[in-house]
Amino acid sequence: MNALLILTSIVLAAPGDLPDAKVVMPWNDFKQLYEKGQAPEEKPEPAPRAYSINRATYAGQVVDEGESALFDVRMQVQIHKDKGWVTVPLAPTSVALRSAKLNNADAPIYIDGGWYTLITDRKGTLNVQLELAAQVFESNGSSSLSFRMAPSGGTEVTLDVPGDENLEFTVAQAQLVTDELRGENRRMTAILPATGNLAVSWQREIVEEEQGGAAAEGRAYAEVHSLVGIAEGVVSGHSDVNMTIVHKGVESLSVTLPADVAVLDVTGSGIREWTSVKEGDLQRINVDLNFEALGAYRLMLDYERALPEGTVSTAVPVVGVDGVERVKGFVGVAALSTLEVVSGDVKGARRIDVRELPASVLGRTDQPVLLGYKYRQADYTVPLSIAQHEDVDVLVTIADTAEAMSMVTADGRVMHRMSWHVRNNRRQFLRLTMPEGAEIWSVKVAAKAVKPARDEQGMVLVPLVRSRASGGALAAFTVEVVWVEDGTPPDEAGKGAIDLQLPKADVPITYLRWSLYVPWDAKIKSRSVDCTLREVEYFSTPVTPEGEYLSQVAQQEMQQAYQVQEKAVEGGVAPVDVAMPVDGQALLFEKLLVLDEDLSLHVEYKGLKE
């Protein structure tokens, strides 16, 4: 017994206790204490998952005139991990998260891998509440929404759609789908398996009705996509009338436009003929088909309205559709010129971001669409204010680069060659003011020799061609002129001066470089060099060869453009292509952005004795 008491005192002793302390306790109590202190024979296995979602309910309500749906989501999350932090994906980032609650308090949420994710170190059962917003899409009379869901043991979805009409709901992978009228809403209820997606679509239910043994009348729904362009003196429009015809086919259609609008064309599948009849402020376009249209059918209208000179306001032409249960649509407004278009007081329609317009509207023009509208009734009004501004002239021709080479001979004569790499939209001539005493030897345009002309003011007119489109831009071509000057020979002592000028072109030059070659024996006085360009040791910008400016197709088109000009010189003297020899020591000059300015050079030398 004494040994047992000693053992007990040793076992129960704690750090810092007196080494001779003793505890006296009954044997049964000691035995239980001893057994509890033993390690378990089998360690507990960890849970296979850190969490599970036992059940989830999604209660949705379609709002915003059927464009979106709000969901109240309730989840029961079970945490199985004994300690540490756990992350639980709750909803995809494709939906908008308004709020998240964990046991009625704000939940810690972060985004991970495209999911709104809960992070928590709590244990046991957690109640999570989310408020989500999802977009509703409409097409051909059918509405739908879809998004991913966090898989749960049991999932129930309800969706309230405003209205008391009978609707046909389709829920992907649902085991049970029911719907009933709840007040002013049609409620759909669906039970889903442990799936990762929610996809719901609904449309009006087609009911087979018998009236005296005959089928009921057909029904039609219309969605109109219109693009209206405003230009000087005219409003042009194109409308796609997308119809959904159910239950029974139709052989004729009827749409309306304002009476002051001229209908240019009506197109669609199987149109036998169409007529237009004015009825007061409206004109009715009756379309007869050569078959019974059933399901989806598209009718396309092109029309315009003339605007008197000085008009400062107009309105979007309203396209109406007769004999349909419902009509809705989109309108885009674009300015086709420098007119400024401003929206007035809109009635019956709603202004939207132009990016929300359908592709059938945005894709019909290269001009920016300025205004966008959405409507759900055919009696809307969109007034427009028009402001005319004065046009500003812009460049139609420019020389991207230009290169000049001048060679001085020992007797003082000078030969020049200058090339302009031109992009031309619609100019007929390149006008050059040549230096006094210049004798033109050859002119080439796009590698073809041409004959220039001279106007009353003495300017040389070089005929241009229009640049071809290449890679979305205008392709450049080369204009080359070769000319000579008598110059001034050196004196008996071998001294002399060189005074040169380059032609002045009536187009701006982005970059110009000039090379002057003088005889090898000439000694240039460095302080005597005076040029309106900057002297450099080497050129900073290369000049692109003409072949690199033009694609193969553009080069072929350019050659064809000269066939007419080649015929013009038949029977006369064809121009000669002159090559320029280059020899001597070089002086280099360059300038950025050359406008209407003189390009001159003065150089003094010595050492040129006969």
pLDDT, tens digit (0-9, with 9 covering 90-100), for 442-470: 999 988 888 899 988 889 999 988 887 66
pLDDT at 9 over 80: no
Residue 561 has pLDDT above 50, yes or no: no
| Mean pLDDT, rounded, for 268-277 | 92
Among 321, 352, 387, identify where a domain stops. Answer: 387
Specify the number of domains making up the chain: 4
604 near 497, Cβ under 8 Å?
A: yes
Give the E-state strand segments of 232-382 in sequence order.
Answer: 234-258, 262-268, 271-279, 282-306, 313-315, 320-321, 326-335, 340-343, 349-352, 369-375
Do 156 and 99 lie in one domain? The reply is: yes
pLDDT score for 577: 66
Same domain, 174 and 254: no
Mean pLDDT for 6-30 is 64
Residue 7, pLDDT above cutoff 70: no
Q: How far is CA 414 from CA 258, 410, 480, 489, in A?
A: 73, 10, 17, 10
Q: What pLDDT, on the 0 to 100 scale, is given for residue 217? A: 64
- Would residue 209 count as lying in a domain? no
Q: What residues pair up with 590 in beta bridges, in sequence order?
A: 513, 534
Residue 43 lies in a domain: no
Question: Do residues 121 and 239 both lie within one domain?
Answer: no
- CB-neighbour burial class of residue 291 (10 A; exposed 0-12, middle 13-18, buried 19+): exposed
Name the residue with higher pLDDT: 555 or 511: 511
**pLDDT tops 70 at residue 6:** no
Q: Are 350 and 435 within one domain?
A: no
The answer, yes or no, to whether residue 93 has pLDDT greater than 90, is yes
Q: How confident is the model over 466-475, as a mean pLDDT?
A: 73
Its sign, for the CA torsion 533, 535, 538, 540, is negative
Position 548 scores a pLDDT of 41
pLDDT at residue 560 in the model: 52
Among 155, 176, 204, give the residue marking a domain's end: 204
Average pLDDT over residues 292-318: 90
* pLDDT score, position 576: 64
Give the orientation angle of helix 27-36 with respect to helix 2-12, to 10 degrees.
Answer: 40
Beta strands in 425-508 (DSSP E): 429-433, 439-445, 448-449, 453-454, 460-463, 469-470, 473-474, 477-485, 496-501, 504-505
Q: Report how far Cα 176 is from the mean position of its chain's Cα atoms.
A: 43
For 246-279, letters b (16+ CB in 10 Å) and e give beeebeebebbbbeebebeebebeeeeebeeeee
User: Could you tell me the CATH number of the domain that includes residue 435?
Assistant: 2.60.40.1730
Rounded to 5 degrees, φ, ψ at 546 are: -60, -40
Q: Do 371 and 479 have their domain in common?
A: no
Residue 551 has pLDDT above 60, yes or no: no
Rounded Cα–Cα distance for residues 441 and 443 (Å): 7
What average pLDDT does the segment 359-364 reach? Answer: 89
Considering the domain boundaries, does residue 112 fall inside one?
A: yes
Residue 555 pLDDT exceeds 60: no
Confirm whether 57 is domain-assigned: yes
Percent of the chain with pLDDT over 90: 42
Per-residue pLDDT of 517-541, as tens digits, reads 998 888 888 788 999 999 998 888 7
Is 124 inside any structural domain? yes
25 is in which domain, residue-wise? 2-36
Give the whole-angstrom CA distance, residue 184 versus residue 186. 7
State whether 113 and 63 are in the same domain: yes
For residue 42, being part of any structural domain is answered with no
Q: Which of 44-48, 196-200, 328-332 has the lowest mean pLDDT?
A: 44-48
Greater model confidence, 374 or 216: 374
Give the bridge partners for 584, in sequence order: none
Statement to judge: residues 196 and 297 lie in one domain: no
Tens of pLDDT, residues 229-263: 998 889 999 999 999 888 888 889 999 999 999 99
Is this model's pTM higher than 0.75 or not? no
* Residue 240: per-residue pLDDT: 95
Judge if 452 and 591 occupy the same domain. Answer: yes
Are residues 432 and 399 in contact, defined by beta-carbon separation less than 8 angstroms?
Answer: no
Whether residue 598 sits in one domain with residue 449: yes
Question: Would residue 402 count as lying in a domain?
Answer: yes
Question: Per-residue pLDDT for 569 more than 50?
Answer: no
Going from the C-alpha of 118 to that of each of 51, 60, 87, 133, 584, the distances in angstroms are 11, 22, 5, 18, 80
Residues 200 and 245 in one domain: no
Here the CATH number for the domain that contains residue 292 is 2.60.40
Q: What is the DSSP letter of 185?
A: E
Helix/strand/coil (H/E/C) assignment for every residue in 200-268: EEEEECCCCCEECCEECCCEEEEEEEEEEEEECCEEEEEEEEEEEEEEEEEEEEEEEEECCCEEEEEEE
Q: Is the pLDDT of residue 487 over 90?
A: no
Residues 570-579 have pLDDT tens digits of 444 456 667 7
Residues 200 and 340 in one domain: no
Distance between CA 238 and CA 317 in Å, rounded? 10
Mean pLDDT of 401-406: 92
Residue 549's pLDDT band, with cuts at 50, 70 and 90, is very low
Average pLDDT over residues 205-210: 54
> Does residue 473 register a pLDDT over 50?
yes
Is 392 among the domain residues? Answer: no
Position with higher pLDDT, 20 vs 442: 442
Do 443 and 374 fall into the same domain? no
Instruction: Work out the pLDDT band at 308, boundaries 50, 70, 90.
Output: confident
Give the mean pLDDT of the chain: 84
Q: Letter for the amino acid at 207?
A: V
User: Which residue, of 387, 416, 445, is where some domain finishes?
Assistant: 387
